[in-house]
Structure 1
Amino acid sequence: MTVMTLPARAGDRPRTGPSVPHVQLTQNSPDEIRRQLERWMATALPSTEIRPSEISEPGSTAFFLARDARPPQGAVLLPPRLVAEFAHIHRDGSLHVALSREDQDELVAKGWGERHPLYSPTVNVVMLYGPRTAGELEVAKTVVASSYRYATGRPLRSAEPGPL
C-alpha cells in the first residue's frame, strides 16, 4: 500500500470542538476554496455517489461508494454503516475522512488534521483541517485521494501537493 507523503502544515493547528459535533472553530476555509474542493471531489472520484452525510451535521456533503461497491477487506469507513461513506465536507471547509492507519499517522504528524474525539478501531474518522489557500487545497486533494484509495482499493490519479 502506498502511503501519502505530505509537507508540514504552516502555522498553528486550528481550534476544534472537543466532542460531537467535531467541527473546526478557527482558521476555516474561505468559501471559494471550499467550493473548489467540493467541485473537484464531485468530478474526480469515479464510482461514488454524493448525498447528505449519514453521520455529520446538516449541510455536510458526503461521498459514498457506489451502491454495489464494497471496500477492500479490513477497510473501515465512516459510521454508521462502516462500508459506504468514506468522506464528508463540513460547511466550515474541514472534512472527516477514513484513512489507513499509516496515512492517519502522516496526516496528524504533519499538522494537517487530528483523530475524531470518538476515534477507535471501529470509528475510523480523522479530521482534515479545511484548506485556507490554493496550495493547501492541493494537499486536501492528496488526502481525499488517499481516502478514496483506502475505500475502494484503487488509486486515484492525483498530483503531489504543490508549493505552499
Structure 2
Amino acid sequence: MTVAGASRAGRHWHLEPRRGPRPRIAPYPIPHRQLTDRATPVLTDRITGAVATEARTNNRYHLARSHFERRGDALYLTDVTTAAPWISRTNGEILHVHETEGSMHVVMQPDDAQTVISAGWGELHPLAGRPGLGLPETYVFLYAPRDSDDADRIEQIIHRATATSTI
C-alpha cells in the first residue's frame, strides 16, 4: 500500500517491523475496528495514559472529544494556526484511541504514514483522502499492542506524530 504524498526515498526514521501477521480488521469502514489480537486492558490503559501524559505535560496539546470517533477523547494540537497541512484538515485532531480494543487512528505526515504501514504497524483507513468525507490521506489505523514491546513501538509512533504535527 502506498500513501499519497510519500517520497520514494523510503524510511527516514527507524521503526522496527511488527512481528507476525496483521490482525483481522472489520470488513466495513465505519466503525473501522480490529477484530483479532486486541490489547489487554493493561496495555490499553498504558496507551491511553501515554496520550494523556502528552496532553498534560506539553501545552501544545490538549484532550477533547474526538471529531471522528465521537465516543472518546482525542489528542488535539492547541494552536491550529501552527498545524502541519495533514493536521489542519482535522481541525487539530492528531489521534484517538479505541479504548475497547487498544487500536487507534492517527494522522501522520505522508512519509511517516508510509513507514508505519510498510513496517506492519497499521493501515490506511479505507476512506482516507476521499473527497467530501473529511478524512485526510494519511488517516492511519494503528493496530493494538499485543505486548509491552508492541506498546513501546506504539508510543514511539505517538511521539513521532506529535513531533511532526506543526509547521
TM norm. shorter chain > 0.5: yes
Equivalent position of 2:5 in the other structure: none
**Pairing 1:37–2:47 present:** yes
Give the TM-score normalised by the residue count of structure 2. Answer: 0.79
SS at match of 1:119: coil
Equivalent position of 1:23 in the other structure: 33
Equivalent position of 1:131 in the other structure: 145
Question: Hey, what's the Cα distance between the residues in 1 that align with 2:102 and 2:21?
Answer: 17
Question: Hey, what's the Cα distance between the residues in 2 that align with 1:64 and 1:86?
Answer: 5
Equivalent position of 2:94 in the other structure: 86
AA partner of residue 125 (structure 1): Y
Q: Which has the higher contact order (CA 8 A, sep 6+)?
A: 2
- 1:70 corresponds, among 70, 76, 81, to 81
- 1:101 corresponds, among 95, 110, 115, to 110
Identical amino acids, percent of aligned pairs = 27
AA partner of residue 90 (structure 1): H
Compute the displacement of 1:39 (Å). 1.1
2:26–2:32 contact (8 Å) kept in structure 1: yes
1:4–1:142 contact (8 Å) kept in structure 2: no
Question: Hey, what's the Cα distance between the residues in 1 that align with 2:42 and 2:119?
Answer: 25
Question: Hey, what's the Cα distance between the residues in 1 that align with 2:92 and 2:83?
Answer: 11
2:94–2:165 contact (8 Å) kept in structure 1: yes
| 1:28 to 1:3, Cα distance in 2 relative to 1, 3 A | same
2:83–2:92 contact (8 Å) kept in structure 1: no
Runs of at least 5 residues in structure 1 that lack an aligned partner in the other structure:
154-164
CA RMSD of aligned residues (A): 2.0
Question: Hey, what's the Cα distance between the residues in 1 that align with 2:104 and 2:82?
Answer: 20
Equivalent position of 1:52 in the other structure: 65
1:61–1:90 contact (8 Å) kept in structure 2: no
- 1:111 corresponds, among 91, 114, 120, to 120
| 1:52 to 1:72, Cα distance in 2 relative to 1, 3 A | closer
| 1:49 to 1:27, Cα distance in 2 relative to 1, 3 A | same
Compute the displacement of 1:139 (Å). 0.2
- 1:61 corresponds, among 67, 73, 90, to 73
Give the TM-score normalised by the residue count of structure 1. Answer: 0.81
SS at match of 1:11: coil
Compute the displacement of 1:57 (Å). 5.2
Equivalent position of 1:161 in the other structure: none
Runs of at least 5 residues in structure 2 that lack an aligned partner in the other structure:
1-10
SS at match of 1:70: helix
